[in-house]
Chain A
Amino acid sequence: MPTAPAGTLYRGREGMWSWVAHRVTGVSIFFFLLVHVLDTSLVRVSPEAYNAVIGTYQTPIMGLGEAGLVAAIVFHAFNGLRIALVDFWSKGPRYQRVMLWVVLGLLVVTMAGFLPRHLMNVFGAS
């Protein structure tokens, strides 16, 4: 099978880049999920073991990581709904470009609701 030359662009623009972002966020979330099930499983070991590991999630650096993770999840969720609309809604393909901007708008709105609260929890005095 002939291989495609490296570094070529498929079509660019909203369609391709949303597809790329969907893959990148999806793979990132998947690997987090594997780790997250493992760390939660420590509740089966002992309260001390679980608290020790979950404590490392409550540091400022991990707090910023969680903000990135939530942003990735929110994008993947809204863009996934956009993909379903492109596939099942008769006018979906025509509005796929507009819908990406709606997805990004909803991402900004959701993060504006989440970030202040989360960052206060992470960086605020407890």
Chain B
Amino acid sequence: MTTQTDIPTPRSPYVRRKTTRGNFELYSWVFMRASGVVLVVLVFGHLFVNLMVGDGVKAIDFAFVGGKWSSPFWQIWDLLMLWLAMIHGTNGVRTIINDYAQRDLTRGVLKSLLYLAFTITVVLGTLVIFTFEPCPPGAPAELLASICTA
């Protein structure tokens, strides 16, 4: 008798249930650490230049910002800091909302507000960095950076 019985291969590899969510949370975890290290440098540099050098916070006015943003170096620095800090912060608050808001509706509303705040802040900040006019015509000269009168 040579009837073949259909026995499943004993060594068929175990297949993990296919996830439907992708690797988003893994990338978010990696991003928090990578952006965090970069932000330490960007934010510490920002705080040192704005609060420690010269007269610190007392010296900050329109002319100070105008002088800084006349240089592409500080434009790129601040743009990078804005984007990284906003994504890092938004992702952190997203995690906290997911942890503590238990009702689906509460979570949805809070995260919608969060993403709205993110979009407004990033778009506004980016526009301001790139459309900023350090020497607006008609403004009193004593309020402007020294480069405007030179």
Binding site for B on A (CB under 8 A): 1, 3, 23, 26-27, 29-30, 33-34, 37-38, 40-41, 43-44, 46-48, 50-51, 54, 57-58, 63, 66, 70, 73, 77, 80-81, 83-84, 87-88, 114, 117-118, 121-122, 126
What separation, in Å, do the CA atoms of A63 and B62 have in the docked complex?
Answer: 19
For the side of the interface on B, what is the size category? 35 or more
Residue of B whose beta carbon sits closest to that of A3 = B102
* 8 contacting pairs across A/B (C-beta < 8 A): A33-B86, A33-B121, A40-B65, A40-B125, A47-B62, A51-B143, A77-B36, A77-B44
**Which B residues touch A121, using CB under 8 A?**
51, 55-58
Chain B, 119-150, CB within 8 A of any chain A CB: 121, 124-125, 127-128, 131-132, 136, 139-140, 143-144
What separation, in Å, do the CA atoms of A1 and B61 have in the docked complex?
Answer: 53
Residue of A whose beta carbon sits closest to that of B126 = A37
**Which B residues touch A26, using CB under 8 A?**
89, 92-93
- Taking the closest CB of chain B, its distance from the CB of A121, in whole angstroms, is 4
Any chain A CB within 8 A of the CB of B47?
Answer: yes
Residue of B whose beta carbon sits closest to that of A79 = B36
What separation, in Å, do the CA atoms of A43 and B63 have in the docked complex?
Answer: 10
Inter-subunit contact A126/B89 (CB<8 Å): no
**Which A residues touch B57, using CB under 8 A?**
57-58, 63, 66, 118, 121-122
What separation, in Å, do the CA atoms of A56 and B66 have in the docked complex?
Answer: 19
Inter-subunit contact B33/A114 (CB<8 Å): no
What separation, in Å, do the CA atoms of A27 and B99 have in the docked complex?
Answer: 14
Inter-subunit contact A34/B93 (CB<8 Å): no
**Which A residues touch B125, using CB under 8 A?**
37, 40-41
**Which A residues touch B143, using CB under 8 A?**
47-48, 51
- Taking the closest CB of chain A, its distance from the CB of B144, in whole angstroms, is 7
